[in-house]
Amino acid sequence: MKFPKLSSSSRAFTETSVGFFSETFNARALVASGIKDDFVQDNHSLSVQRGVVRGLHFQVPPNAQGKLIRVVRGSIFDVAVDIRSGSPTYGKHVSALLSAASWNQLWVPKGFAHGFCTLEPDTEVLYKVTDYFAPECDRGLRWDDSDIDIPWPIAGVDVVLSAKDKLHPALKDLPDYFQF
C-alpha cells in the first residue's frame, strides 16, 4: 500500500530574504498524481503539546472523506489505516513524517482511518477534505490497537489524547463501513 507524497505544489517553492511564496493547492497537479476528488472544506488544528495523538478518525458513507494533509508549523508522524473490508491491505497502515520544514503533503483516500502524533509543541495541521463534517457519520479507530501495531514515536504513557479518542473501538470491533 503506497500513497502519493505530494510536494507543496507544481511550482517551485520560492524563498527570499523577506519571506516566501508557495502554491499550496493546485487541482491540475493533484489530477496528475491520480487524485481526482473535489475538496469542499479546509480544517486547521493546533496541538499545543508534543505527543498529542489525534485519531484515528474517519467518516462513514454517505459522508466519507478523503483528506489532503499538510503541516504549517511543527511536525507530525502521520498515519492512515486501511479499513476497507475485503482489501488485500485491510488493517495495514502507512505512515509519513510531515513537517512545515519539508513542505510535504499526504493524501488519505476514503476508506482509511487517519491520525497523527505531534512531534513538536505548537504544531499546526491543515487538511482539505472531500466532504463536509457530518457528526452523525463521525467514527474512530483505537490509536493503539495491537492488531494494527503502529510504531508511534511517543511512548504510550506520554501520549496526550482527547476524551473522545480514548473511547474508539479496536479494528476487530468495527463494522464493515467500507468495501474494497
- Examine the residue annotation and report whether 127 is marked as an active-site residue of this protein: yes
Distance of alpha carbon 38 from alpha carbon 25, whole angstroms = 12
In sign, the C-alpha dihedral spanning 68, 74, 75, 79 is negative
Q: Active-site residue among 57, 93, 114, 168? A: 57
Tell me how far apart the alpha carbons of residues 134 and 120 are, in angstroms, rounded to a whole number.
30
Selected catalytic residue, list 93, 114, 127, 168: 127
Q: Report d(CA 34, CA 36) in Å as an integer.
A: 6
Per this entry, what is the length of the chain? 180
Supply the residues annotated as catalytic: 57, 127
